[in-house]
Amino acid sequence: MTPPIAILGAGPSGLALGQLLEVANITYIIFERDESATWAIGQGGTLDLHAGSGQLALKEAGLLDQFKSLARYEQTTTIADAKGMVHARFSGSGDNDRPEIDRRDLRALLLSSVPANNVRWGQRVQHVQRDTNGSMSVHFSDRSIESGFRLVVGADGAWSKARSLVTPAKPQYSGLHYLTTSIKAENPFHSSAVSLVGQGNYMAVGDGKQISAQKLGDGSYYIAVGLRLPERWSSENAALLEDPSALRQSLLRDHFADWPQVHTDLIKHSEGHFRAWPLYAMPTESLSWQTVPGITLIGDAAHVTTPFEGEGVNCAMYDSVQLAQQIVKHGLDDLDLAVSEYEKSMFPRAIDLIRRSAENGKLLFAPDAPRGFLEAFGAIDST
Ligand SMILES: Cc1cc2nc3c(=O)[nH]c(=O)nc-3n(C[C@H](O)[C@H](O)[C@H](O)COP(=O)(O)OP(=O)(O)OC[C@H]3O[C@@H](n4cnc5c(N)ncnc54)[C@H](O)[C@@H]3O)c2cc1C
């Protein structure tokens, strides 16, 4: 029997939705392009889940206690400038309502109670269409087709293959890239990273650039270098990305030559390849489409945003809560109404997040950062 609901993508929003439908005894299938649960996620960093959104999804899914046993509560965030001066240090304690969890642990947690048969790995969606009988079909890159769905939920991230059915809008490049790599626990430099960063996050900003480090659950540090780069930088620098030591030298020489060693050491002593993340956001004016029968979007597929507010995953998982609640409320016979109610509540939340994140991005990548950023958060006096 074809389940009524197909979810595209086993990221945080797709898996949370699956889990919430599971709790409500509504059948569904998730199609994910990754070959397995651990595929491609190795280079991901850490995410802080907020009490009223990301954690709420886990609570409704019956996973909050397990999350609490995995999450890291006692985190310190240090914010420094491009000269090496520390401007702020915030300490999270045991009652911190935004604890951190590694991306791979979050996926494993969400998968722990989704039946294995409900996720089809290695299924890359190419497009979605409405068939002549009014039902929805999902077409894959290996030319296979799954059809007969009453609702397809695009939870397939920034480059969603379902989005064109509801809006012609596309994510817009922010002008910024993150280049990410790591410092493993076995690295001889690791103890210096421990002294600088400690248990949480360290972020150095200024001159329109950023170097940051985040401690992961396995003790390693996730290093992110933020720069203004052309949108197509990765494809134009494919050879450099394949040669990490040349890329390290190029970053240190061409972008951070006048930065203090305390920060540049995080790049110099990092190891392995870099992953390039051009950062995109949906244009806010695109977030108001008319509900289209049989299709909707959640998470980054609906409203990808730059990551400077640290809420993308929380907003994505909150979408799952709201969509699941509407589906339960209106039932499978009125999915269009459920989708329309969900979308009505999602649009203003998403627009607000995209705007706040863009504002933070301006402040974090300003020449005199982190001054404006800290003033905006009341962390330093502007008078
Ligand atoms: C560098 C960076 C740092 C970030 N830092 C933070 C942070 O600190 N805090 C925060 O809250 N958010 C952060 N975000 C944003 C956060 O990662 C996203 O908002 C969140 O992952 C969205 O979840 P999602 O499930 O909607 O989409 P995704 O996490 O993108 O998941 C989409 C899933 O769909 C799958 N998929 C994609 N295309 C297809 C296809 N064609 N067929 C089948 N499957 C497909 C993907 O493999 C993936 O599993 C960051 C983002 C980036 C890029």
- Residue 101's pLDDT is 95
Q: How far is the C-alpha of 187 from the C-alpha of 193, rounded, in Å?
A: 10
CA of 148 to the centre of ligand 1 (A): 27
Residue range 134-148: mean pLDDT, rounded:
98
pLDDT greater than 60 at residue 209? yes
Ligand 1 pocket, residue 71 CB under 6 Å:
no
pLDDT value for 74? 86
d(CA 210, CA 365) in angstroms, rounded, equals: 7
Name residue, tokens 């150095």.
204
Q: Which helix (H) or strand (E) element contains residue 209?
A: strand 209-215
For ligand 1, whether the C-beta of 103 sits within 6 Å is no
Please report which residue ranges of the chain form alpha helices under DSSP H: 12-23, 54-60, 64-70, 103-111, 190-197, 233-236, 238-241, 244-254, 261-268, 300-303, 312-330, 335-364, 371-376
In one-letter notation, the amino acid at residue 117 is N
41, pLDDT greater than 80:
no
Evaluate if residue 238 carries a pLDDT over 60: yes
Please enumerate in sequence order all residues whose Cβ is within 8 A of that of 101, keeping only pairs 6 or more positions apart, or say none.
Answer: 46, 47, 48, 49, 67, 70, 71, 72, 109, 217
Checking DSSP bridges between strand 136-140 and strand 28-31, what pairing results, if any? Answer: unpaired
pLDDT tier, 171 (very low <50, low <70, confident <90, very high otherwise): very high
| pLDDT on residue 43 | 54
For the chain, percent of residues with pLDDT exceeding 90: 92
Copy the structure tokens of residue 329: 């409320």
Q: Which long-range contacts (CB under 8 A, 24 or more apart) does 251-258 make?
A: 251/179, 251/225, 255/209, 255/225, 255/227, 256/209, 256/211
Mean pLDDT of the chain: 95
Which whole number is the average pLDDT over 84-94? Answer: 88
The amino acid at 101? I
The string of pLDDT tens digits covering residues 361-375 is: 999 999 999 999 999
Question: pLDDT by residue (tens digit) across 287-327?
Answer: 999 999 999 999 999 999 999 999 999 999 999 999 999 99
Bridge-based pairing state of the strands 151-154 and 172-183: unpaired
Instruction: Note the pLDDT of residue 42.
Output: 52
- Tell me the mean pLDDT in the region 96-115: 93
Domains, the chain, in order of start with CATH, read 5-72+98-171+282-364 (3.50.50.60), 174-279 (3.30.9.30)
CA of 157 to the centre of ligand 1 (A): 5
Average pLDDT of 70-76? 91
Q: Which atom of ligand 1 is nearest to the CA of 16?
A: 25
Residue 382 pLDDT greater than 70, yes or no: no
The pLDDT, as a whole number, for residue 40 is 62
The HSE-up count of residue 337 (CA atoms within 13 Å, CB side) is 7
Atom from ligand 1 closest to the CA of residue 140: 42
Give me the mean pLDDT over the 202-227 stretch.
96
Residue 223 above 70 pLDDT?
A: yes
State residue 95's pLDDT score: 75
d(CA 175, CA 208): 11
Q: In sequence order, which ranges of 11-101 are alpha helices (DSSP H)?
A: 12-23, 54-60, 64-70
SS (H, E, C) 249-283: HHHHHHCCCCCCHHHHHHHHCCEEEEEEEEEEECC
pLDDT for 309: 94
